[in-house]
Amino acid sequence: MAYDVRGQRESDKVESIGQLFNDQELAPKDLDAAKSYLQKRKDVDSKRIGAIGASIGGNLSAMATSEKAIKSVVSISSKNISGL
């Protein structure tokens, strides 16, 4: 499954893309929704869900390491955020 982070393309708009870096509770909601969707699908092994992301998505995938449902993570070109 692939999706654009909030504020990209046709998704919900944000005032600035920097808002996603500064609000660590806003963007993860999208990843949580994707994870929940995949966990409900019969054709997905819910014990083998991973996350991969680039740029802001890289930060989201790094944040996903605290999720027990996310088993593997790849983060590409992510921004350094304290606390991750």
- Tell the burial category of 51 from Cβ atoms under 10 Å away from its Cβ (0-12, 13-18, 19+): buried
Is 30 a residue whose pLDDT tops 90?
no
- What pLDDT digit, counting tens, does each position of 44-82 carry? 998 898 888 887 778 777 777 676 778 888 888 776 655
Structure-token match 């790849």, residue found: 74
Q: What is the mean pLDDT of the chain?
A: 75
pLDDT recorded at residue 82: 57
| Between residues 12 and 55, the one the model is more confident about | 55
Which DSSP string corresponds to 9-57?
TTS---S-THHHHH-TTTTHHHHHHHHHHHHH-TTS-GGGEEEEEETHH
pLDDT recorded at residue 43: 96
